Chains A and B, each alone.
Chain A
């Protein structure tokens, strides 16, 4: 089959894959909410707009916090933060993974050994705890910084997987051909090998995306998230901090967790869907 044919085929299956459909639509729903939300609400997340501890009402859709902040506002801004972290953190994680994976997998030899060692080390270290320690000593923490840190510790498994893939592709005829035609290794990697792994890289990115979101949520929940602004994890942190459970303020801690679960879950399911699309063996006839 030729390239274009393949693409059409993927599209063809993609549109017929329920997992993919459901997953994507859930994610999109929240993306839209994150984008539109701030325009809908006329408050700021950390603004004291009402008497505290208000249950959901027509005015405050998700109720208010003990301090009278509008939960819905915090929620939508939190969603934004969540997606940003996912995008940046997940993106960075994937990027490092790709670089390390490609280089290790294509070059092999000593370089491979070294990178492999590195990967294994970062793999073994419980990244969150390191993140905690780092975060604990930073006076002021921003969303960007958080994402970068997350990305810097999320890449190992991606690198491993990509390395393996590259390894198998390296010995394929078309790569040999390129090599014989005197192409530079880097160009081979990016013109010959990468395109043949696009689908795979996409899957990796999705998983990294979800992972970054969870990690960020955990950090924020512990209270080591960005010292500015709001995030879903921070909302849960505050809820617990200020006795939302005891006071039965479910509207404060249910939405953020639910959103994270839904988004990440949807991402995973999308991932399976895509896998089925790219991998005929798994397609349901």
Chain B
């Protein structure tokens, strides 16, 4: 047990370390100077620009040797300091990200979990009859093959513009400031629905397919045959097959996380949903290296934590891994 998790943790730590390093390296060794951009946007008089340029250079600690910058970067990180945003100067990156984070949780967790449960249930259901299978299978494949943004665009167009059922931009009405009132909560949900739906649908397809294939394999396995030979009702056999097929689906969830993040990113862009994905786009368009770094780190941390959570769940639900590990220590 210990060994297993120790191993996993090691991997995650190394990953984190590398990620942070990459994250730090890229902006510094790529062309273009953030401060130039900041000054460029300020539209200053030439005479003053020169002074302000050097002022910013040290304000962002870009005037010290590279290796020192790297160390500073780490020590700052460990103090929860992600630097200052260029795009939203002079706000601290961490503040901007924390403001966006709730929206991501609010959007992603339900989308991921619900699609996972629903998809698995549905896939198992589909595996029952040939007819169902033939209708569901193509549908599922089409859904998984749909680019997140395209589905988003279609939904926004259909329900936001053509039928005008749902708003398709922002997290709540422009006419409101955040507040604990039913009107506001309703507005939140209204704006939440379309992005949620497009994420949900694409993922749903994937899980349904996955489960369907898994079940088919399971129903072909020996224990299934044996139960049949003992005249066990299909219900029981399916139950077992489903339980066993779920396990790989849990690992699948871990493997999918990266893709899901990407999906969330573009979905937020399509719907101007103020999560981290949307921040990333803004950071890119406004060349806010520091914000971009911050977002990337948050995504990494999120993904790593999710992975670890999944590892734990897996161990909890699959007796084999558990026993295997007890054997180890």
Query: Are A246 and B161 touching (Cβ within 8 A)?
Result: yes
Task: Give the residues from 196 to 240 in chain B that come closer than 8 angstroms, CB to CB, to chain A.
Answer: 209, 213, 216-217, 220
Give the complex CA separation of A233 and B150 in angstroms.
Answer: 9
A221 touches B266 (CB 8 A): yes
Q: Residues 18-30 of chain B: 1 if any A CB is under 8 Å from the residue's CB, otherwise 0?
A: 1100110011001
B157 partner residues in chain A, CB cutoff 8 A: 245, 250, 253
Query: Roughly how many angstroms separate A139 CA and B266 CA in the complex, as a whole number?
Result: 22
Q: How distant is B13 from chain A, measured CB to nearest CB, in Å?
A: 10
| A282 vs B266: C-alpha distance when bound (angstroms) | 36
- Chain B residues within an 8 Å CB radius of A222: 265-266, 269, 281, 284
Q: Check if A126 sits within 8 Å of B141, measured CB to CB.
A: no
Residues of B within 8 A of A269 (CB): 137-138, 141
Report whether B266 and A218 are in contact in the complex, using a CB–CB cutoff of 8 Å.
yes
Q: Which listed residue, B15, B141, B281, B287, touches A268 by the CB 8 Å rule?
A: B141
Nearest chain A CB to B20 CB, angstrom units: 11
Specify which of B27, B287, B296 is in contact with A129 (CB 8 Å cutoff). Answer: B296
- Taking CB atoms, residues of chain B closer than 8 Å to A266 are 145
Contact A124 B149 (CB under 8 A): no
Are B30 and A137 in contact, CB atoms less than 8 angstroms apart?
A: yes
**Interface assignment of A188: CB less than 8 Å from any CB of chain B:** no
CB-defined interface of A220-232 with B at 8 Å, one 1/0 digit per residue?
A: 0111100000000
Chain A CB within 8 A of B307 CB:
yes
CB distance from B137 to the nearest CB of A (A): 8
Q: Does B273 contact A (CB under 8 A)?
A: no
Q: Which residues of B contact A120 (CB under 8 A)?
A: 11, 15
Given A248-B161, A281-B220, verify A133-B292 contact (CB < 8 Å).
Answer: yes
Structural contact, B12 and A139, CB atoms closer than 8 A: no
The segment from A89-97, A162-170, A256-264 found at the interface with B is A256-264
Whole-angstrom CA separation of A262 from B143 in the bound complex: 10
- Whole-angstrom CA separation of A262 from B307 in the bound complex: 31
CB pair A137–B32 under 8 Å, yes or no, is: yes
Contact of B149 among A157, A221, A263, A264 (CB under 8 A): A221
CA gap between A137 and B32 in the complex, in Å: 8
| Cα–Cα, bound, A224→B213 (Å) | 35
Q: Which residues of A contact B144 (CB under 8 A)?
A: 265, 268
8 Å CB contact of B280 from A132, A134, A254: A132
Contacts of A250 in B (CB 8 A): 157
Q: Is A121 among interface residues, defined by CB-CB distance under 8 A?
A: yes
Interface centre among A127, A250, A268 (most CB of B within 10 A): A268
Residue of A nearest to B283 (CB): A136
> Interface centre among B144, B149, B213, by most A CB within 10 Å?
B149
Q: Report the nearest B residue to A22, measured CB to CB.
A: B138
**Which chain A residues numbered 101 to 140 have a C-beta less than 8 Å away from chain B?**
117, 120-121, 123-130, 132-134, 136-139
Any A CB within 8 A of the CB of B247: no
Give complex CA distance A134, B216 in Å: 41
Contact segment of B98-106, B255-263, B319-327: B255-263
A127, A133, A217, A239: which contacts B258 (Cβ < 8 A)? Answer: A127
Judge if B172 is at the interface, Cβ distance under 8 Å: no
Contact of A136 among B14, B217, B292, B303 (CB under 8 A): B292
B270 within 8 A of A: yes
Bound together, the chains give a CA A236 to CA B299 distance in angstroms of: 25
| Nearest B residue to A116, CB-CB | B11
CB distance from B48 to the nearest CB of A (A): 28
The CA-CA distance from A266 to B145 in the complex, in Å, is: 9
> CB of A210 within 8 A of chain B?
yes
CA distance A138 to B14 in the complex (A): 27
* A-side contacts of B160, CB under 8 Å: 245
Taking the complex as formed, is B107 at the interface, i.e. its CB lies under 8 A from any CB of chain A?
A: no
Q: Is the CB of B303 within 8 A of A126?
A: yes
Given contacts A133-B23, A253-B153, contact A139 B32 (CB under 8 A): yes
> A240 at the A/B interface (Cβ < 8 Å)?
yes
Closest CB of chain B to A65's CB: distance in Å?
15
Shortest Cβ distance from residue A259 to the other chain B in the assembled complex, whole angstroms: 10
Q: Does A50 contact B (CB under 8 A)?
A: no
Q: For residue A260, which residues in chain B have a CB less than 8 angstroms away from its CB?
A: 145, 147, 150
Task: Point out residues on B near A: beta carbons under 8 Å.
Answer: 11-12, 14-15, 18-19, 22-23, 26-27, 30-32, 137-138, 141-142, 144-151, 153-154, 156-157, 160-161, 209, 213, 216-217, 220, 255, 257-259, 261-262, 265-266, 269-270, 280-281, 284-285, 287, 292, 295-296, 299-300, 303-304, 307
Q: A128-B262, A250-B157 are known; give 14 further A-B pairs, CB within 8 A.
A: A121-B11, A124-B11, A125-B19, A129-B280, A133-B22, A133-B296, A136-B287, A218-B262, A236-B153, A260-B145, A261-B142, A268-B144, A268-B145, A272-B137
Pairs across A and B, CB under 8 Å, 30 listed: A117-B14, A124-B12, A125-B15, A125-B19, A127-B262, A128-B258, A129-B280, A136-B287, A138-B30, A214-B145, A214-B147, A215-B262, A218-B265, A222-B266, A222-B269, A223-B284, A236-B149, A245-B156, A246-B161, A250-B157, A257-B150, A257-B153, A258-B150, A260-B145, A260-B147, A262-B145, A265-B141, A268-B141, A272-B141, A281-B217
